[in-house]
Structure 1
Amino acid sequence: MSTQQPAPPRRKRPAKPQFTQTTLLLEAFLVGFATLVAFGLRVAPPATVWTLGGVTCVVLVLLSGYMGRPGGYVAGTLAQLAVLGFGVLVPMMYGIGAVFVVLWIVALRLGGRIDRERAEWDAAHPEGPAPA
């Protein structure tokens, strides 16, 4: 009869990049729908609307992959300004963009706090979780 050691628990993904990635991806969907609204309202020439909306969507999706890397959070913060800028075309975007700015700040602060607390717990319990 062989006795196998249980596999060590997998390390959890950091919360801060996970929260900020989710926020940016949701924002990409939001910008896509705002682009459709701007196109339907004919607030600008169609080429302008689709170019601004499409580029912003692609940038948000690409930035979500850079969270956790140097400069990623700064770039994500600047992207929040771009989303707020859509309020020029669709005024409702000022309000919706403001909601996403608040979500961005919460993702940064809460994700950072969760990661710090996990690191403190790991430092206090080097042997890992209790066996089942």
Structure 2
Amino acid sequence: MTKAQREWRPGQPRPRRSIRTMFASSVLVMEAFIAFFAALTAYGVLGRDLGDGGRTGLFVGGCVLAAVLLLAPAVLGRPWGYTVGWALQVPLVATGFVLPPMFVVGGLSLLAWWYAVRTGARLDRENAARDAAQARWEREHPDG
């Protein structure tokens, strides 16, 4: 059993999940797919000019970036998790140096990341205010 399961009591309200974390996780997973498909594209399009070693290097590098992006949502709950997410935007946009269209795709992904973090934080603040108002109302009106 997890700590949360051991500490649970009947009638205990479930803590609200962070919308910012859910939005940011979705964007990071989407970016992992983008990185993987960019690696496949680089392998197929540019690999002929680079030889087998360069071809494999491009593919492995893209797959490593995709794997890191896929694992990054696991650390979003930590204080430094969003810093990792911001830092991962740099190599995604930088793949444009290998495949120039990735400057556009990476830039749009960066915009999606920014929007997810900003809007998710705003919605979390609104939910916290709504929960506080509900708790205050329930204290003032115990009979319902």
Aligned partner of 1:109 in structure 2 is 118
Q: What is the 5 A alignment of 1:12-91?
A: 12-43=16-47, 44=50, 45-91=54-100
CA distance in structure 1 between the partners assigned to 2:39 and 2:63 by the alignment: 8
Q: CA deviation at 1:50?
A: 1.5
Q: CA deviation at 1:113?
A: 0.3
Which runs of 4 or more aligned residues in structure 1 lie more than 6 Å from their structure 2 counterparts after TM superposition? none
Q: Which structure is higher in RCO with an 8 Å CA cutoff and minimum separation 6?
A: 1
* Structure 1 unmatched ranges of 5 or more: 1-6
Q: CA deviation at 1:68?
A: 2.2
TM-score (norm. length: structure 1): 0.86
Q: CA deviation at 1:9?
A: 5.8
Superposed CA RMSD: 1.8
TM-score (norm. length: structure 2): 0.79
* Structure 2 unmatched ranges of 5 or more: 1-10, 140-144
* Amino acid aligned to 1:48: G
Aligned partner of 1:4 in structure 2 is none
Q: Report sequence identity in percent.
A: 34
Instruction: Provide, for residues 65-87 of structure 1, a one-character-per-residue CA deviation record: whole Å limited to 9, x for no partner.
Output: 11121211001001000100110
Aligned to 1:125, what secondary structure does the other structure show? helix
